[in-house]
Amino acid sequence: MESKWIQVKGIVKPGHQVASGKSPNNPYPRGTIEMQTPHFKALGLDITPYYQGTLNISINPYIFKVNQPEYTFPNLKWNPQYPPETFSFSKCRLLFKERVYESLVYYPHPETKIGHFQDKSIIEILSPFIFEINYGDAIELALNSQEIIIIEKEKD
């Protein structure tokens, strides 16, 4: 099936810093991404080319829905102290300062998460390390429209 790319503008926002392990209150000292990497690799997805943390991209006034992601790993027991979680991934492209970074949408399914929930307009991205990117920077995401659906938020 051929990918159909859609683009959406976004802003880099601060996250919980749990994925990278940089939060002072992090129950995962090495960060969730580092701990999850061998589990994903054993299931056929190698995320080692990406930075061991996520970029949190706000696409407000839109939200997104994971539709038919390329990868879904249901009930993955990646931490012995917590219940299993379900994760989905979809290839994407992050466009920043006229450069394109092959990346992944990282989607821990909220119904299986134990905490650190995201606003529905935040897409978490695994990308190569981008030295010059900062909170507040504008980016564009190219998403596979067959895997990720963009929806306008309902007005309050």
3-state SS of the chain?
CCCCEEEEEEEEECCCCCCCCCCCCCCCCCCHHHHHHHHHHHCCCCCCCCCCCCEEEECCCEEEEECCCCEEEEEECCCCCCCCEEEEEEEEEEEECCEEEEEEEEEECHHHCCCCCCCCCEEEEECCCCCCCCCCCEEEEEEECCCEEEEECCCC
Longest CA–CA separation in the chain, Å: 44
The whole-angstrom distance between residue 115's C-alpha and the CA centroid of its chain comes to 15
Q: Is pLDDT of 96 > 90?
A: yes
Of 57, 114, 36, residue with least CA distance to 82 = 114
Contact yes or no for 104/89 (Cβ under 8 A): yes
Structural domain contains residue 154: no
- How big is the chain, counted in residues? 156
CA quadruple 88, 37, 135, 133: dihedral sign: negative
CA quadruple 45, 86, 27, 103: dihedral sign: positive
Domains identified in the chain, total number: 1
Q: What is the mean pLDDT of residues 98-120?
A: 85
pLDDT in tens, 74-86: 999 988 888 899 9
Structural domain contains residue 103: yes
Domain around 85: 10-128
Structural domain contains residue 142: no
pLDDT in tens, 20-45: 444 456 555 566 788 899 999 999 99
Structural domain contains residue 4: no
**Model pLDDT, residue 16:** 54
Structural domain contains residue 145: no
Higher-confidence position of 105 and 24: 105
Could you count the other beta carbons within 10 Å of the beta carbon of residue 120? 15
Say what the pTM is: 0.88
Share of the chain above pLDDT 70, in %: 83
Structural domain contains residue 101: yes
Structural domain contains residue 89: yes
CATH number of domain containing 77: 2.40.30.30
